[in-house]
Each structure stands twice: as structure tokens, then as C-alpha cells.
A = this chain, B = another copy of it.
Amino acid sequence: MKYTALIMAGGKGERFWPKSRKNMPKQFLSLTNDGRTMIQLTVERIKDLVSFEDIYISTNKDYKKLVMEQLPQIPEENILCEPVGRNTAPCIGLGAVHISNKYDDAIMIVLPSDHLITYNAMFINTLKDAIDVASEDGALLTIGIMPDYPETGYGYIKFQPEKVNKRAFAVEKFVEKPDREKAREYLDSEQYLWNSGMFIWKISSILNNFKKHLPNMYNGLMNIKDSLGCENEDFVLEKEFRNFESESIDYGILEKAENIYVVSGTFGWDDVGSWLAVERINSPNEFGNVIKGNIITVDTKSSIIQGTDKLIAAVGLRDLIVVDTDDAILICAKDSAGDIKKVLENLKICNRNEYI
């Protein structure tokens, strides 16, 4: 059976401001020393498993040009533009419809475009294990990440250690982002994994689940499928998408479906959720600083400083994030990284769209 992939690249990711902007979200940025952007790394990572003509990118029309520039090897017809963002269920449904129009059935690997993975070979092995189970009729596979600390920013997957299907465990339930105490319990229990947002299933399996759990959406998706290649394709897509409820695949299907399995992975995964991740994904220097650009530090420790050609002199700093771009500088205490969105709110209120 063919292996296909849907890479989800419609996110706006405000947490990397001022580097990320409305017209340049995180997935199109390079945040490692590698030089390649996150979406380029995502494609690179699976290219031995899935051929370019079977890799689909779901995004929106604002980012289509960026996708084509950064991924010239992906056929233009594989770039799926959602007319409007309706969360992951319609996004994945649209991908499944396009793939089902091409192949009778196929393995579909769903991947976020803005996560980082350190150990690609281990990641591919994990995917292969998942594909093995997903090849069974009706099985829906998720990738769970072995947690190493009680993170409160991720959703968790509780698995049933006794119910094993090859290398996959049956999923007991999905749980929302926990508080500190709960996260600690989850970690100690050794029965919870981080929900990576990566899924593997057959097209037939996921479409059957759409039919069962989201029947209205399924009908809309089938209308879209029928219109593919027809004159009214864009019109139908627009009409159906606007009618879809905003729904995540987790809540809309996975939490209700049977035969959900999780394969646990340990391949150096990071969702790169904020500037703080830069410290995890790059090696800090002897002073604990992660520095890129034209920078002089004096007695500066545990700081992230990302600049351009412009000289940045950092004197006596601790635990600070400094990001300089051509038109804006962010200076932010690490503890306050969550407040970067307030800068964006302020800019929106003041209608200073050039900075958003």
C-alpha cells in the first residue's frame, strides 16, 4: 500500500514574534543552526518513506507562495489551500479526500510542519511501527512522546500497558493540558505520553471514522471529493469549508473512536512552542547562552540572543530573550515568554499591522 503524508502548515504561530509574522509563521522560519526551515526539515525527514508526489501540504492561500518557494519539489496540486481555518478535523479530512481521489486506499501520515526531531532514524522506525499497525482495517495510530518532565503545555495520551498490538498500545483516553500536580502524577504513573499531534492511518479507516463521528463533515468532504477536477471545485470547497464546524481531530474523532493505538517515541521531539525552545534545540555555550548574530556579551548568562548584522551588546543579563529583526526588537524575560502575545494584542489594537 502507498505511503502518503499530509503536512499541516496553516498555523499562524505568534509565539516567535518578532521573527514570526502574519505573513511568515513559524513553520517557514529556520530556528536551528541548520539553516533549513521547519517545514523543509519536516519534508526532508520523511522523504525516504514517502515520495514527493505523495506528500500533501495543507495551508491557506496566503502561504501557498511560501510553500512553493520553500518546497519546490512538492507538486503544486499537492498544496491544499483551506479557504478558512476550521481546526484539524476539516484539514485532515480535506487531505484524506485528495488522497482517496488518487489511490483506492493508502497509508496517510499526518504531521505538523513546525515541530523538531533530533533523531530522524529513530523517528522513521517509530513511523514504520505505527504504519505496521495502521495497515490493519480501522486502526488509528498516534505517536506519543515519552515525557521527561511534567510539562503543562501539552496534551497527554493515557495508554493501556496490557493491551498491546505489535509495538502499539491501546489508547485509554486523551487528556487536556494538565496543571503542574496532574502533570507530575502523569509522569510518575508511566502510563501517559505527550500527544505529538502526529497520526497514521489508512484513508479508509479515517474516512469511516469521519462518517461515523462527524457525519455532516463527512458529507461535505464527499461533496468536495466529487467536485475535484470539475469547474465548480473552488466554489464547492469554499462553500463546504465555511459550513464546517471548527473541530479538532482529537476531540471530533480520536476521543470517540475505537481501535486507537499509540506508538511511543523517543527521538528528540520538540514542539518548539516558544522562544524558550531555542535553548533546548541548540547547544548553549559555556555561559548557558544561545547566541546567533553580531553579538558581544559581558557577564551575560542563560540568555537567548538572536540578532542580525546589527551589533547587540549584552551586559550583565540573566535569563533574557533578545530577538532583533530589521524593524523590531523583542527584549523579554524568559519567565514572561507567554506575554509576547500581549505585544501582538497591543499592536493589533493600535492597528500597527506592519509589525504583526
List residues 315-356 of chain A with CB under 8 A from any CB of chain B.
315-318, 320, 322, 324, 327-333, 335-337, 339-340, 342-343, 346-347, 352, 355
Closest partner residue, chain B, to A334 (CB atom): B316
Closest partner residue, chain B, to A17 (CB atom): B313
A296-B343, A299-B339, A339-B299 known; A317-B333 Cβ under 8 A: yes
Which residues of B lie under 8 Å from residue A339 when comparing CB positions? 298-299, 315-316
A311-B355, A331-B312, A331-B331 known; A336-B296 Cβ under 8 A: no
Which residues of B lie under 8 Å from residue A340 when comparing CB positions? 313, 315
Contact partner, A331, options B320, B327, B343, B346, Cβ 8 Å: B320
Contact partner, A328, options B311, B336, B347, Cβ 8 Å: B311
Is A310 in the interface zone, CB < 8 Å from B? yes
Is A314 in the interface zone, CB < 8 Å from B? yes
Is A10 in the interface zone, CB < 8 Å from B? no
Which residues of B lie under 8 Å from residue A324 when comparing CB positions? 329
List residues 146-179 of chain A with CB under 8 A from any CB of chain B.
none
- How many copies the complex holds: the figure is 2
Instruction: Give complex CA distance A17, B296 in Å.
Output: 13
A299-B336, A342-B298 known; A331-B310 Cβ under 8 A: no
Instruction: Give complex CA distance A331, B297 in Å.
Output: 10
Q: Are A327 and B311 in contact (CB under 8 A)?
A: yes
Q: Are A331 and B311 in contact (CB under 8 A)?
A: no
Which residues of B lie under 8 Å from residue A299 when comparing CB positions? 336, 339
Which size bracket describes the interface of A in this complex? 35 or more
Instruction: Give complex CA distance A312, B331 in Å.
Output: 8
Is A220 in the interface zone, CB < 8 Å from B? no
Is A112 in the interface zone, CB < 8 Å from B? no
A299-B339, A343-B298, A355-B311 known; A329-B329 Cβ under 8 A: yes
A298-B343, A339-B298 known; A313-B327 Cβ under 8 A: no
Contact partner, A332, options B313, B318, B343, Cβ 8 Å: B313
Q: Are A331 and B347 in contact (CB under 8 A)?
A: no
Closest partner residue, chain B, to A333 (CB atom): B316
Which residues of B lie under 8 Å from residue A327 when comparing CB positions? 310-311
Q: Are A343 and B313 in contact (CB under 8 A)?
A: yes
A-B contact pairs, 19 of them (CB 8 A): A17-B313, A296-B346, A296-B347, A298-B339, A298-B343, A299-B336, A310-B327, A311-B328, A312-B329, A312-B331, A313-B328, A313-B332, A313-B343, A314-B331, A315-B337, A315-B340, A316-B335, A318-B333, A320-B331
Residues on A facing B (Cβ under 8 Å): 17-18, 296, 298-299, 310-318, 320, 322, 324, 327-333, 335-337, 339-340, 342-343, 346-347, 352, 355
